[in-house]
Amino acid sequence: MNRKFVKENKQVLREFIGKLLISLITKKNKRALDKAIDADPALKKNRQEMEKLTKDIRDRINKLQKTNPEIAKNLRQAYL
């Protein structure tokens, strides 16, 4: 392989590998956290409530989109 090519793309390669490792590690930690939440009934109930509230907020913003698109856009940027 051409030395110039390797030298120029070394930083890009490091960034790619770094992002790949970070995504793998966080995915593994997320699975462990999901299992812990599912095992605890109180945490599981809280998660379901949060998901319901998130869905309600999305629905309200979608309804608001029809009447006032600018405010809906600002709310999406701030909360979603």
Comparing 27 with 56, the larger pLDDT belongs to: 56
Q: Are residues 22 and 51 in the same domain?
A: no
46 and 80 inside one domain: yes
Total structural domains in the chain? 2
Contact 26, 33 (CB under 8 A): no
The 10s digit of each residue's pLDDT in 1-46 is 555 555 566 777 778 788 878 887 888 888 888 888 889 899 899 9
Considering the domain architecture, whether residues 34 and 49 belong to the same structural domain is answered as no
- pTM listed for this prediction: 0.56
Say which range, 13-17, 45-49, 65-69, has the weakest mean pLDDT.
13-17
- All residues at 6 or more sequence positions from 64 whose CB lies less than 8 Å from its CB, including other chains: 71, 72, 75
- At 53, the pLDDT band (50, 70, 90 cuts) reads very high
Helices (H), ranges, 1-80: 3-39, 41-67, 69-79
Alpha carbon 31 to its chain's center: 14
Tell me the helices (H) and strands (E) count for the chain, helix number first. Answer: 3, 0
